[in-house]
Structure 1
């Protein structure tokens, strides 16, 4: 099957690149938030447990599209006042930044539960062995807990990233020129909705397929040195 893209091919390619940038940026933010949330929920301190639980509950309870809209439009007045204080006219949060924050916030909430499950799955004796060797809590976490945690969490995080990749389409509502935005513009101009929405679907399918290959490689690499027991 061939598609006549009416000259919109470069625009769709630029949209695909923007989608990848948005997904990877949100992934970095989401992993940081997810790790912080997981550590808070597994902390022995009740306030931290409450903070981590509140974050994951509230964020997961609100649709991703609403978070995109709330963060983008909810910061307009705050950014305007900040611009007045800093003498920077027309200071505002860009659509890309709002998308990264919103999608990273949502990814982090779900990643919190994945990483929490991975942390509590590690036998308590591993931590006790680190204490017996005289390791600090930081070194126990970075040298003993984290490598095992990532191995357990990678499949779940991989699935979340595939969802994140497709959720980037939500940012089109605030004007970010990613795949769906360019596809909608092309449809408006050419009146060929099936063609361009099919091309957009194929682009998303290609990106998710590449992501699955990358995750398979990371899972195999993380599993080196571990023997599966029967």
Structure 2
């Protein structure tokens, strides 16, 4: 009987249904997650190599970065980076004579998520690099490979199977962290769900629909991750 009371037409893709709005919010969430995760991987790779092979100053800077980001709640970091970071950028731009800078919500969201992801990626990749047998790197040096070639042809391929479980978890966390951007007004899935529910008063319907969309995103991501892990671990069983 409760099912008969649910107005399923509210999920229609065309107005007055909100289905199209929810899907648009989901796409925005995916865009932020992909961009932020990619930026986090870049920062994490640099941070991991900086911690392991950098000088004392660089190692200390990377340690401060990872410690602070992992210690402060992500919601606080998002508010701090979004508002304080934008204000600082505008002040610097004004000081240089360029006036205020108009930063898109998408770019700001990617930057914020990327900085948070970068700290966690640093530790995941650092542990994966340490798991590479030292003999492989020493053999590459004996063959006369440059440090860059060793990283590209030995370290990165060998560390990948060790890093994938942690990086996979970070991706799933990243997809859910996009919901925190609702507090700064970015139209991702959680914010548009709140708007739809508030307008129609069908809170159960829309929040359950959002939960299903997040679940589907996780299931699809898990399937892709399994394929990547199987490919990266080829030959391990034969060892």
Alpha-carbon shift at residue 217 of structure 1 (Å):
0.8
Alpha-carbon shift at residue 88 of structure 1 (Å):
5.8
2:158 & 2:113 partners in 1: Cα distance? Answer: 26
Aligned length: 229
Specify the alignment match of 2:211 in structure 1: 201
Pair 1:226 & 2:233 matched: no
2:57 & 2:94 partners in 1: Cα distance? Answer: 36
Specify the alignment match of 1:129 in structure 2: 139
1:97 & 1:67 partners in 2: Cα distance? Answer: 16
Q: Is the 8 A contact 2:25 2:188 kept in 1?
A: yes
Alpha-carbon shift at residue 223 of structure 1 (Å):
1.2
1:30-49 CA distance string (max 9 Å, x none): 00011111111112632222
TM-score of the two chains, using structure 2 as the length reference: 0.89
Specify the alignment match of 1:183 in structure 2: 193
Name structure 1 gaps, 5 residues minimum. none
Specify the alignment match of 2:184 in structure 1: 174
Q: How does 1:52-131 map to 2 (within 5 A)?
A: 52-82=62-92, 84=94, 91-131=101-141
1:136 & 1:36 partners in 2: Cα distance? Answer: 18
1:70-116 CA distance string (max 9 Å, x none): 11211343343355457666523332222211111111111111111
Structure 1 residues 41 and 85 mapped into 2: Cα distance closer, same or farther (>3 Å)?
A: closer
Pair 1:162 & 2:172 matched: yes
2:53 & 2:44 partners in 1: Cα distance? Answer: 14
TM-score of the two chains, using structure 1 as the length reference: 0.92
Name structure 2 gaps, 5 residues minimum. none
Specify the alignment match of 2:29 in structure 1: 19
Alpha-carbon shift at residue 54 of structure 1 (Å):
1.3
Q: Specify the SS of the correspondent of 2:174.
A: helix
Q: Specify the SS of the correspondent of 1:42.
A: helix
Q: Is the 8 A contact 2:91 2:100 kept in 1?
A: no
RMSD: 1.9
Alpha-carbon shift at residue 203 of structure 1 (Å):
0.4
Alpha-carbon shift at residue 225 of structure 1 (Å):
3.1
1:20 & 1:228 partners in 2: Cα distance? Answer: 37
Alpha-carbon shift at residue 210 of structure 1 (Å):
0.8
